[in-house]
Structures are given as C-alpha cells and as structure tokens.
C-alpha cells in the first residue's frame, strides 16, 4: 500500500476562516482531511499541504491542532522533509497510547488444608481409614458430605486463604508511541495557523 502524500491532504478554507487584522502575521482556521482506509501513515507523519492553500506566502509561525475525540494525539512537526515523505512545510504526526506492557503472574504455590474432626460426639457410623487406598471412609455404604461452610461446628476441611500471586504487575507510565505504517481511516483536523 502507498503512503499518504502531500497531494492526498485536502484543505477546506473559506473567507470566514481568514483573519488579516494582524500587523505581522495572519491567522487562518482551515480544515484538513486525509485518510481513506487504504493509504498508510508515512514514517514521519502526514505531509502538510503547500502553504499557499492556507492563503499564506512565506511561512508558518505557529500551528495548533484542535484535538478530535478519536483518542489520538496530533502534533505539528515543522521539520522539512525531502523524502519519506516529501514535506517541505512539515508534517502532522499522530501518536497513540503505549499499550505494549505485559503483566504476568506466577502460579500459586502448592498449599494444604487442615481437616477438623469434632470431638466428644456419639458416633452413629464407624469412620476409619482403609490402608490400601488410602481411603477415608465409613462402614455404611452411603456417602456423606459435610458442608464446608459449617466446618467449625460439623467438622470437615478447614478453608485456607488462596493467597495472592507471587508478584504484582504494573505498566509503568511512559511516552506516547507514534502510529506505525498502518492504513489511516478518514480523518479531519481543525487547524489554527499563524503565518505570513
């Protein structure tokens, strides 16, 4: 796929978007549009169109970008590029949150539980251990379940804390990362330009 080139950036600017009242610099409020879901993001950003499309003749003194609600960070880079991409008036660079961090936890260590046997009761059924199993059982043929929630008064397995993972993981705060060479969907940006 081809990268977005200067010719692929469309400028919309009307007379209502132009302010010539400044003595040294004029203020322009254009809208630029780029991206079609097929063209890709160039290595150093989206090339800014020729400044004549902003009704400027000499230079751009300042350029601000109104953030759209798409979660990306857009920044103007005035660096002149002669290739990759060709951008004589700088580029609009796109940044996104750094989501490369990974959290991993170790398995919980093997642990044991206590078995509570209540003393001082008159047994209705004989309870014992079959050595060949070894099996904990009773003489009567029916099985018997002791509810774990009542182990304190009825006996049974004593619950133990499952513990916590061996380590805790955090993703450290870090700088944004620039968009890779991926297809860019249709995007419109409102610019505030001070220039001459």
Annotated domain spans of the chain: 6-101+173-195, 105-170
Q: Which pLDDT value is given to residue 155?
A: 79
Helices (H), the chain: 151-154
- The rounded distance, in Å, linking the Cα atoms of 162 and 22 is 70
The alpha carbon of residue 109 and the mean position of all alpha carbons in its chain are separated, in whole angstroms, by 31
pLDDT level of residue 50 (50, 70, 90 thresholds)? very high
**Residue (of 98, 100, 117) closest to 158 by Cα position:** 117
Q: Which pLDDT value is given to residue 173?
A: 65
Q: Which residues pair with 74 in a beta bridge?
A: 94
- The rounded distance, in Å, linking the Cα atoms of 7 and 10 is 8
pLDDT level of residue 171 (50, 70, 90 thresholds)? low
Q: Which residues pair with 189 in a beta bridge?
A: 32
Question: Would you state the structure tokens that stand for residue 76, as one six-digit string?
Answer: 């103007």
Q: Cis bond leading into 67, ω under 30°?
A: no
Average pLDDT for residues 25-50, to the nearest whole number?
97
State what percent of residues in the chain have pLDDT above 70: 86
Q: Which residues pair with 137 in a beta bridge?
A: 128
Average pLDDT for residues 120-143, to the nearest whole number?
80
Please name the helix (run of DSSP H) or strand (run of DSSP E) that holds residue 81, with its range, or none. strand 81-82
- The rounded distance, in Å, linking the Cα atoms of 90 and 14 is 23
Average pLDDT for residues 112-139, to the nearest whole number?
79
- The rounded distance, in Å, linking the Cα atoms of 128 and 138 is 6
Question: Would you state the structure tokens that stand for residue 1, as one six-digit string?
Answer: 């796929």
pLDDT one-digit tens code per residue, 138-166: 788 888 777 766 777 777 887 776 666 65
State the pTM of this model: 0.64
Question: Would you state the structure tokens that stand for residue 79, as one six-digit string?
Answer: 């660096």
Q: Which pLDDT value is given to residue 124?
A: 80
pLDDT one-digit tens code per residue, 66-113: 999 999 999 999 999 999 899 999 999 999 987 656 666 666 666 677
């Amino acid at each position: 796929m081809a990268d977005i080139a200067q010719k692929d950036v469309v400028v919309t600017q009307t007379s209502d978007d132009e302010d010539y009242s400044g003595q040294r610099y004029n203020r322009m409020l254009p809208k630029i549009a780029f991206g079609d879901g097929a063209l890709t993001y160039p290595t150093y950003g989206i090339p800014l169109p020729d400044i004549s499309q902003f009704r400027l003749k000499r230079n751009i003194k300042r350029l601000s970008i109104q953030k759209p609600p798409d979660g990306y960070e857009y920044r103007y880079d005035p660096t002149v590029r002669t290739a990759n991409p060709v951008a004589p008036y700088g580029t609009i660079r796109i940044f996104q949150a750094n989501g490369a961090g990974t959290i991993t936890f170790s398995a919980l260590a093997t642990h044991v539980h206590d078995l509570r046997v209540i003393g001082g009761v008159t047994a209705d059924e004989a309870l014992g251990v079959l050595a060949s199993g070894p099996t904990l059982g009773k003489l009567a043929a029916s099985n018997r379940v002791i509810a774990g929630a009542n182990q304190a008064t009825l006996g049974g397995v004593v619950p133990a804390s499952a513990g916590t993972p061996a380590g805790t993981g955090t993703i450290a705060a870090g700088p944004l990362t620039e968009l890779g060479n991926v297809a860019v969907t249709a995007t419109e940006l409102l610019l505030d330009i001070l220039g001459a």
